[in-house]
């Protein structure tokens, strides 16, 4: 029988309403992106990587960057680092910020992360990975999750050694992207490793990598026994992919729906990051939203050249006048911004908002 992606599941005492998780993506997973993902059915959403060193230093430029809104729960905030004490302290702040889970990145293959002993490098130091997990799990009352790759080198099976030790140290769930760090995003994700990991641990496993459709999600869940699948790049500028993943509803959005979602995303990102940072951050999203034959290719180039986000919104409404009514409906359903939890010292993303 095919798995029901609408079925809820549990990470310890946190109920996740669907079996699709929106991946943490550097330079992408701002609050507006996460909230949109929840609206389209993602059962769990994740922040981008946050440096535990940045938390310690309390960089003033990023105060208020990470926010937790009432409509994005359940939410995992992801931290990275290589020092157990600093990671534990960062985890306490993440819990105070209102996250439902503390997620740790043991899989990032980017050199600026691995050279510090963090990310995928920890798959080569199982003892340190264990100590970090134990320190973080002991520091917070919310569940702790870990996202990892298969290992650093091609063909590595380190995840099968490290994974059970992380559970022993206190991890309540594991996410496996079964590519090596060397592969980056090339080749394919070997989910036979995911199936092996499921057999080795007694906590839910989330399958990440090459899950691009409803059929693929069902196939991966059926073949691996994983509790859920994680969707990443396929949802960039394309929240409708989440709906298709869960329900098999492949109906393409109208031009007005696309414009409306982009306008809301622009406005919410400006509210979060400020006009100057948001204007730079958003440019990559124009192509993601407007591609796939939704708008003529020159239109995206026109938007990228505009000086302000308000000019972009004006141009979108001119191209799709019916979007205005949809935007009004979407904005009426947003929670009061006063419901957000803001801390005096907020974490700093190494990517600075993109």
Bridge partners, residue 106, by sequence = 148
**338 strand-pairing partners:** none
| Spatial separation of the C-alpha atoms in residues 284 and 303, rounded to whole Å | 11
46 is catalytic: no
Length of the chain equals 354
Is residue 124 within 8 A of residue 118, CB to CB? The reply is no
Cα dist from 124 to 82, 106, 116, 153, 314, whole Å: 12, 10, 13, 10, 51
Q: DSSP readout, 104-168?
A: EEE----HHHHTTT-GGGGGG-HHHHHHHHHHHHHH-SS-EEEEEEEESSTT--HHHHHHHHHHH
| CA distances (Å), origin 175, targets 187, 201, 205, 325 | 19, 12, 6, 39
The residues annotated with a catalytic role in the active site are 108
């Amino acid at each position: 029988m095919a798995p029901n992606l609408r079925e809820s599941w549990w990470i310890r005492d946190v109920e996740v309403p669907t079996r699709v998780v929106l991946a943490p993506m550097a330079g992408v997973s701002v609050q507006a992106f996460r909230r949109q993902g929840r609206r389209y059915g993602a059962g769990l959403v994740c922040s981008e990587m946050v440096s535990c060193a940045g938390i310690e230093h309390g960089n003033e430029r990023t105060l208020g960057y990470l926010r937790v809104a009432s409509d994005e729960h359940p939410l995992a905030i992801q931290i990275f680092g290589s020092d157990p004490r600093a990671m534990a302290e960062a985890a306490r702040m993440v819990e105070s910020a209102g996250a439902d889970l503390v997620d740790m990145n043991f899989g990032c293959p980017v050199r600026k992360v691995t050279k510090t002993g963090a990310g995928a490098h920890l798959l080569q130091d199982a003892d340190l990975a264990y100590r970090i997990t134990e320190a973080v799990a002991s520091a917070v009352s919310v569940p702790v999750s870990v996202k990892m790759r298969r290992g650093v080198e091609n063909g590595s099976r380190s995840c099968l050694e490290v994974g059970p030790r992380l559970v022993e140290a206190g991890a309540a769930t594991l996410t496996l992207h079964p590519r090596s760090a060397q592969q980056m995003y090339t080749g394919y994700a070997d989910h036979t490793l995911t199936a092996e990991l499921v057999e080795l641990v007694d906590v839910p496993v989330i399958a990440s990598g090459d899950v691009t459709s409803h059929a693929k999600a069902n196939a991966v869940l059926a073949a691996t026994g994983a509790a859920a699948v994680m969707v990443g790049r396929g949802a960039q500028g394309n929240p409708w992919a989440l709906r298709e993943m869960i329900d098999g509803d492949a109906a393409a959005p109208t031009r007005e729906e696309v414009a409306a979602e982009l306008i809301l995303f622009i406005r919410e990102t400006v509210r979060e990051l400020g006009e100057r940072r948001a204007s730079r951050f958003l440019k990559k999203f124009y192509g993601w939203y407007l591609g796939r034959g939704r708008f003529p290719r020159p239109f995206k180039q026109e938007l990228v050249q505009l000086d302000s986000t308000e000019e972009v919104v004006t141009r979108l409404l001119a191209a799709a006048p019916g979007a205005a009514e949809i935007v009004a409906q979407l904005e009426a359903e947003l929670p009061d911004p006063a419901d957000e939890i803001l801390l005096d010292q907020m974490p700093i993303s190494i990517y600075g908002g993109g």
